[in-house]
Structure 1
Amino acid sequence: EDVHEADAASRELFLYLAMTMRIGICMVITYREDEVGPAHPLRALLIDLQRERRLAQLSLAPLDSVGVERMTAALLGKDATSELARLVHERSQGVPFYVEELLKATVDASPGAPGQLALPRSVSDSVQLRLRRLVKERGPQIADLLQAAAVAGVPLDYPAFLRLSDRAEAEVDVDLAASVDAQLLERLATRTETYQFRHALTREAIEMAIPEPRRRRLHGRVAEALAAMPRPDERAALLAHHFAAAGNEQQAFRYAREGAARALRLGAYGTAVDLLQVAAEAAPDDIGRLETLESLVHALQAGGRATEAEAALRTARELALADADRTAALDVRLADVLLMQGRRSEAMMAASRAAAALEGHEGPTLAAALVISARLSRVENDHERAVQLAERALAIARGCHERAIEASALTVLGSARVRLEGANGVPDLEEAVAVAKSHDLGAELVVASVELVLALRSLGRWDAARAAAEEALAIARERGLEFAQARLLTELVHIHYTQGRYRDARDSAERAVAMVRQGTTLATVARSLLCTLLTLQGESEAAFALSEQIAIPIAAVEPDRRLGYLSTRARIFRALGDLEAAAVAATRAVEFVLSALPRAGVEAFLAAADVAEARRDGAELRRLMARCDAHFAGRESRPIAVMRAEMDAILADIEGRDAADAFASVAERYAELGVPVRAAYRRACAMIAAIRARGSDLPDAPVRAIRAELVERGALYYVNIIDAALPSGEAPARTPHGATLSFSEVELRTAMLVSRGHTNDRIAAELGVTVDEAEDLVAAVLRKLGVASRAQVASWVLQREEGRPARRH
């Protein structure tokens, strides 16, 4: 073992034994390739053995993530965790020596920052030993060059090495060749001559040994060298980092702002945030810092990072207190950020403060304050006031030729009018979209499109709503607007599942959950919608667990979104067979509608009617119908009319009257509305009602055909209700929570990675397979579980590991 460290006598013994043994004895030796350069004495031994045909070589590839996890478990036992194994795999890049040393260092080290692993002393010593050998051969200048490269932290091309060295070109050539031979550097397979450290830990070991004052000077050298090369603007982010580390705040500020501007143009908001934070620290004065913080807020909002945006705004506001107009403008943005977090009362205070400070100065900032106030009034269901404020904001914005504020005012105006006047508000929303498109206003276009989609949905124009959402989603993707993408995905969830595309709806919900950051109301909305899809697809226990997680934050979301959650809770308890809890949840949903949503609530009344139907409670259904008639008095939209007809059919069935024709009529009306799943379900109810009322034989073929259609759509919530009504229905096979089926070990590992939200690319990297092979593994897991989406795999993993959660009403 470790023959690269063998002395001359040992090497001679190996050669002698290999040349003289003839009795079928195999001698196995191991060595580290990175320790054996062209001039290493072991290389000569290997050549001799190959020439005599006495050698068979086997190169060992780095360990994949599964191998590292096994090694971690073997070395640490009960202290091993998947997260530790992941960190070790990332830092070691699968090299067994580094894996072992990192794990030893973890055991020996005192607790440090989460997610960090200390550089093992053994690794540092090994690298420093090789470096000292090089210095002995080439002089201290080679150490200087490698230290500068280590501080640079990125691959460097040949001209960069020339600028970093104070030696002649020929000497640099020899230094680079010697570093490659010593297995410290490697040349990349690129058209330009570019070098990087062979391993990240090698670079780290060299950098960590440099005293802090010298490291600071080296950062300055690297920055100056990179800045002197052609097209420094393309390296602005890197230059900002090195100038900041060197203490050159002026240059750090300059390049951080340049890099952030470039990142914002490309939609790389995460990079922009990092650079703007550097710029804020390096700003030469309060004005520079204030301007930088304003840009930072823009990047944070675009990325959905509301909490951080609020902190930046409050700091900026402190800097701007002497400037009343600027403070008011910051209050407008603060109100917007607070509204993202569902903190409506605080948002209203900030918007009112801004409007009061600007009263009499009818400019863009006042118009923006009025838009925010109008949005807040609309959220609180004061639609008349929302219209008044939006109309005033629109007039000011048009007078100032502020197109972004004009589009925002039209959006709020249209959405409020839709709630007051129905289709009469749609032209305002269409104009908002047109203004945003014609002036290339990405964020405003997305918000206007979301409200247009909501309006079209409320009018039953599902295809138009879907087209508008998909068009806006494409724009948001192109511009890198993650928060906007998540908003649009949540709208597509509603459209897909209403039109019976449950799997598409599930996919959109999962993507929204993965994309949006926690701490915003949108994160809660996305999880609530996923909860709805889990319920409709028959995964009621997973839905219950998720609904428990968002039970508190759901109170901060807009009332119509909260209604969806409350209605889903009623369906969850019905699916779990707890009809008493379902009745309590349904009553809460209806009470919420009566108190907070004077012009909406069909979803809650339908959920309550479904629960009364399951309980066969005619008296409760009659009370519900009376409340429904009072709530929707004077309104007779198509969805409301279908809902009332459905309640009549349910009541007839509960009271023992023939409800078959009534259910059939309801089914036809749902089909006309473009709601195919509910239509199919009520067609099945019509057939079953005919049996109850007329005593005829069960028409197996038609009911089973409807059941098959619902299974194909993934609507297992309704399938289970139909199965309960069939005397000998063929329910779909269920997989026990703890079963492992016929999964191979790698398939189980794939299921675990899927449950953690890994993409196929990341699964491929973790398992050490190609992306195509990872896709095949994911497909195998989906097929064996009999599910259609990755979230269903996650639900299965959760149930397998944790079992059924305790219920809470």
Structure 2
Amino acid sequence: MLGTVQSSHISPVFVGRSAELTALGETLSRAHAGEPRALFVGGEAGVGKTRLIQEFLGRAAADGAVVALGGCVETGADALPYHPVSTALRSLRRQLGAELDAAVAGQEGELARLLPELGETDRGRPETDGRARLFELTVRLLERLAADRTLILALEDLHWADRSTRELLSYLLRALTDSRLLIVATYRTDDLHRRHPLRPALAEYERLRTGTRLELPRFDRTEVRRQLAAIRGEAPPEQVLDRVFERSEGNAFFVEELACSILEGSPGGISDSLRDLLLVRVEALPDEVQRVVRIAAEGGSEVEFRLLATVTGLAEDELIETLRTAVGAAVLQPADEGESFRFRHALMREAVVGDLLPGERSRLSRRYAEALEADPTLVRSEERAGRLAGYWFDARDPARALPAVIAAAAAARGRHAFAEQHHLLERALELWDDTPEELRRQSMRQGVEDGLGPAISPDMPGDFVDLLAAITVAARLAGERERALALCKRALRKLEGDLSPSSRLGSSGGDPLRAAWFWTERYRLVRDLSRSDGWDEIAQAQKLLKGLPPSVVHADVLTHAAHWSVVHQPARTALKTAEQAVELCRMTGAEITGLAAQHTLAWLTIHSGDVEAGLARARDVCARDLEPGNASVVLNGYGNLSTALHGLGRYAEAVETAEEGSGLAERYGLPNTASFIDGNLAESLIHLGRWAEADEVIERALGRRTVSVRIRALIAERRAELALARGAYDEARLRIEESESSSTGSYPEPQHTLAMGRMAIALAIADGRILDARSLLESAVGEAIPFGHHRYGWPLLYEAAAAEARARGLAVAEPGRKAAVERIRKAMKGQPEFVPLWAAQALMTRAELLTAEGRDATAHWTEAVAATEQLEAPALLATARLRLAEALITQGRAGSRSAAGELLRQAEAVARELGAAPLETEITTLAGRARIRLRQADGEAAPPLAPAASLGLTARERDVLRLVAAGRSNRRIAEELFISPKTASVHVSNILAKLGASGRGEAAAIAHRLGVFDE
């Protein structure tokens, strides 16, 4: 729009800052070498941050770097979420064109929330997982663009940044790896009061390995001299230097302003007021130019040329000449390639705005709002709602402001900017009482249609309670849970107060449907805040809905109620609740909630005994095509299905499911979900004896970006399990403590307490603390193991029974032994055994209890070994073989020594291969005591082998062994038997364990010698 205009008031020579430029250059070099970096440049207003960054970016661009610049807006930041990032991405798209479009291919719908030019925004539910995906995809985009070039993302005026921008920046700094990206951001130090939100954010950025802070000092006297000389074209007289240095105190911008006043012959009495000093240059402009400058100041940090023309009423040519004068006087400067204009320095804009009268400001804001309503194309589409809301709010016209603010809040939610949505809705709350009732209803109805918040009831009344509902959800999604809970309570009081005494419904609301919705929100919040387990809240919601027609609120409440039962008290009645929830979701069209309800019903169906029907239901959910609305539920379903398969002892299937789900979540852009699924994957790998692979999966899970506290607790539990099995007890204690501190809270769930109890008992026995083990069992189990937690209950009971058996003969253990054994037997009653894994664990537990009582457990251990041989659990099988060998040796019957020796050799081979040090020690100790040789010396005949029938190979394992003997690879075996290579690998591992073979060749030889194939 305007050509370059050089002002004589600005130094044409870059003065000083050599140390700062060196620091910037060093940081750029590190980024250029593939180490992403971030540098935060702070300093007081006017000290020269922008000039320094411009100099640096110019040099970097000359050296081949791609530079993208974005600035935070001074006012209305909450109405324009992600503005600096969007501006920078727009700059990148102009520079890179098709390359950027190719980099976002397939993700346009999500990234359009940041850059609308990419296309239509995905219409999925705007929940927290959606925002996490947006952040992850932004990181991936920048990593792709900075893979083969140095990319600089420069963000100015971070002190004005909206919360979503700060959080996205935090994610970028944590997540970026192996890219040539440099982020440079500036901020004002003098604006950072104690409660400024950037203060803790900067502290966090600096703690990260990628972030560094750089404080910009004022100029010293020598540098002020050089700056004045550059502006004047000659060295300044000493008295001028003294005067300028004294008044400016080395602030570069103030030096320019003082130099300008002196050069233009201003009387010596320049005002001591900063505002007056800043206004000197504006007041020297012609009246018409001053008018345009004042109008531009009220328009915002940056005002579009067409919008300014509309508000000023000037013809295009006239406005261009007016702006040329303001630019020449170094008051305004072109931005966005001349399509918009901004003040050369924000301090000058602040001074101009401060000089406007209150009525003048509101009138100008109204003119901006009216211009934008008349022609929405005057600003970019993603800014329109936010700018209009800001203008109408500043115009102090509630009737026009409320609809605009609600529309802006809906737009913010559509961009996953929940903090900004919350702020805008709080502003709507301020405007509510001053707005006509019918307009309120219309605004809320339109807002709900635009995605503002929940449509609680079909008729959508659009009253004050609906506004409270929208703010509650926004506050919860923004992480402001205390505020959300307070709003819930306020809404419920309002609903109750609307009732007449004769129609009052208990202690709940006059509109039971909406009251039930708020009780469900309270359920979520009290659980998140660890105020309670949530049962009172969800029970109250169910009570309110009795007798009402079916609705999406019914479906949601029943789905939560069923899930609560699964987690806390999964009684058999929960199955009926889950079935009702699934049916209600179908009837009311609540598809996403229906998927969650199906997960819950599948789990309850499995544990009620109909295993295959439950698994089929769970698989049906996982088979859905991934969409923005259902991705979170579907991908979490893979984790739930894998853990269900694991609990059934179908570890190989669990591994396949988890690997598929983890890969999908990673590709879809939900790394936290991928790490959750990997936690389940690691558990199944541990039980399959693939410990090295489990270690790799755990490292992968922890290495992903921004792993949540809950997932870290899950991973810590897996690491504790591995450490226990390997005998690294100190590490196990550390990991258990880490997991408990993150996952239990005030209202722990049985799936955590039972698992933690089992490992705590194992540690107590390793330390010889049998009395502590008994206390731990009582604490973990209480009256009984809850229905539906068999997968956690059986291992816990076995550990407790094994502890009693190992402690037999200890004087300290004798007094309470009988009661302890009876407690375990009591807990076993009612525990289902219809799954082969549970049946095997039950047999092993009973055998240990017999041993603890000093009775012969040989028959039970024989059954237990036969049962575990049918499983995919080499460590469990080795344990059962060890215990059977011990029973045989203890009884001393004819031929038992030979059988015990074979069992011990098989068990020792597995323990040695796994690295299960405690198990191996037990085996070698027993063998030494019984004088049984575990391994043959060189040249010595091999120990006699057990009969082929006693090896416990399943029919499928014999098929696999036949192909192993034929020299087939796992992949070839998989192809011939129509199974996956991973499953083939599992079968081979189980075969080696059962045969006690060290490798595939030895396994084949053993099979031929025993005539396995002849059978």
Shared fold per TM-score greater than 0.5: yes
1:69-88 pair list within 5 angstroms = none
Change (3 A) 1:610 1:529: farther
Name the SS of the counterpart of 2:572 in structure 1: helix
2:562 maps to 1:374: yes
Distance 1:580 1:211 in 2: 81
Distance 1:210 1:585 in 2: 76
Name the SS of the counterpart of 2:569 in structure 1: coil
2:384 maps to 1:193: no
Deviation for aligned residue 1:381:
2.8
Partner of 1:390: 578
Partner of 1:238: 387
Distance 1:396 1:587 in 2: 44
2:104 maps to 1:135: no
Number of residues paired by the alignment?
610
Partner of 1:335: 523
Aligned match for 1:39, one of 5, 8, 11: 8
1:5-44 pair list within 5 angstroms = 38-40=7-9
Change (3 A) 1:533 1:501: same
Deviation for aligned residue 1:628:
6.5
Change (3 A) 1:398 1:132: closer
2:592 maps to 1:592: no
Partner of 1:558: 749
Distance 1:406 1:199 in 2: 55
1:404-553 pair list within 5 angstroms = 404-421=592-609, 422-433=611-622, 441-442=630-631, 444-445=633-634, 448-459=637-648, 460=651, 461-467=653-659, 469-470=661-662, 473=665, 477=669, 486=672, 489-496=675-682, 498-499=684-685, 500-509=693-702, 514=706, 523=709, 525-532=710-717, 535=720, 543=735, 546=738, 549-550=741-742
Partner of 1:252: 401
CA contact (8 A) 2:904 2:927 kept: no
Deviation for aligned residue 1:425:
1.6
Amino-acid identity (%): 17
2:554 maps to 1:355: no
Distance 1:257 1:682 in 2: 65
Change (3 A) 1:465 1:693: farther
Change (3 A) 1:306 1:184: same
One-letter code aligned to 1:38: S
One-letter code aligned to 1:375: H
Change (3 A) 1:610 1:150: farther
Q: Give structure 2 stretches of 5+ with no counterpart.
A: 28-37, 45-154, 162-181, 201-217, 219-247, 258-273, 442-461, 496-508, 686-692, 842-867, 891-896, 938-1015
Partner of 2:119: none
Deviation for aligned residue 1:135:
1.8
2:463 maps to 1:317: no
Distance 1:559 1:414 in 2: 19
Partner of 1:61: 21
Bigger Cα displacement from structure 2, 585-594 vs 229-238: 585-594
Distance 1:114 1:187 in 2: 30
CA contact (8 A) 1:660 1:685 kept: no
Distance 1:532 1:338 in 2: 25
Change (3 A) 1:57 1:391: closer
CA contact (8 A) 1:186 1:198 kept: yes
Partner of 1:52: none
Deviation for aligned residue 1:592:
0.8
2:162 maps to 1:162: no
1:105-156 Cα distance to aligned partner (Å, 9 max, x none): 98xx8x6667569xx9987976746742432432355555555555544443
Distance 1:665 1:303 in 2: 57
CA contact (8 A) 1:290 1:316 kept: yes
Change (3 A) 1:689 1:225: farther
Distance 1:323 1:382 in 2: 31
1:187-239 Cα distance to aligned partner (Å, 9 max, x none): 44x55634445566665566566665555444444444444341775321332
Change (3 A) 1:139 1:345: same
Change (3 A) 1:342 1:145: same
Name the SS of the counterpart of 1:381 in structure 2: coil
Distance 1:370 1:203 in 2: 56
What is the TM-score when the length of structure 2 is the normalising length?
0.48
Change (3 A) 1:325 1:506: same
One-letter code aligned to 1:139: P
Partner of 2:140: none
Distance 1:438 1:429 in 2: 18
Partner of 1:714: none
CA contact (8 A) 2:672 2:704 kept: yes
Deviation for aligned residue 1:389:
1.6
One-letter code aligned to 2:658: R
Partner of 1:774: none
CA contact (8 A) 1:156 1:196 kept: yes
Change (3 A) 1:382 1:211: same
Partner of 1:707: none
Change (3 A) 1:232 1:698: same
Deviation for aligned residue 1:688:
8.8
Identify which of structures 1 and 2 has the higher relative contact order when contacts are C-alpha pairs closer than 8 Å and 6+ apart: 2
Name the SS of the counterpart of 1:411 in structure 2: helix
Partner of 1:291: 466
Distance 2:886 2:927 in 1: 13
Partner of 1:75: none
Change (3 A) 1:244 1:540: farther
Change (3 A) 1:688 1:184: farther
Change (3 A) 1:408 1:527: closer
Name the SS of the counterpart of 1:61 in structure 2: helix
CA contact (8 A) 1:160 1:225 kept: yes
One-letter code aligned to 2:681: I
Distance 2:19 2:296 in 1: 29
Structure number with the higher helix fraction is 1
CA contact (8 A) 1:335 1:346 kept: yes
One-letter code aligned to 2:643: L
Distance 2:534 2:425 in 1: 27
Distance 1:253 1:462 in 2: 53
Change (3 A) 1:543 1:176: farther
Name the SS of the counterpart of 1:383 in structure 2: coil
Bigger Cα displacement from structure 2, 467-476 vs 690-699: 690-699
Change (3 A) 1:176 1:668: farther
CA contact (8 A) 2:520 2:537 kept: no
Distance 1:627 1:611 in 2: 13
1:107-126 pair list within 5 angstroms = none
Change (3 A) 1:681 1:222: farther
Change (3 A) 1:607 1:207: farther
1:681-760 pair list within 5 angstroms = none
CA contact (8 A) 2:601 2:614 kept: yes
One-letter code aligned to 1:290: V
CA contact (8 A) 1:184 1:202 kept: yes
Deviation for aligned residue 1:401:
5.0
Bigger Cα displacement from structure 2, 525-534 vs 203-212: 203-212
Deviation for aligned residue 1:386:
0.6
Q: CA RMSD in A?
A: 5.7
CA contact (8 A) 1:664 1:682 kept: no
Name the SS of the counterpart of 1:377 in structure 2: helix
Distance 1:688 1:156 in 2: 83
Distance 1:39 1:413 in 2: 76
Distance 2:663 2:550 in 1: 35
One-letter code aligned to 1:452: L
One-letter code aligned to 1:413: L
One-letter code aligned to 1:61: L
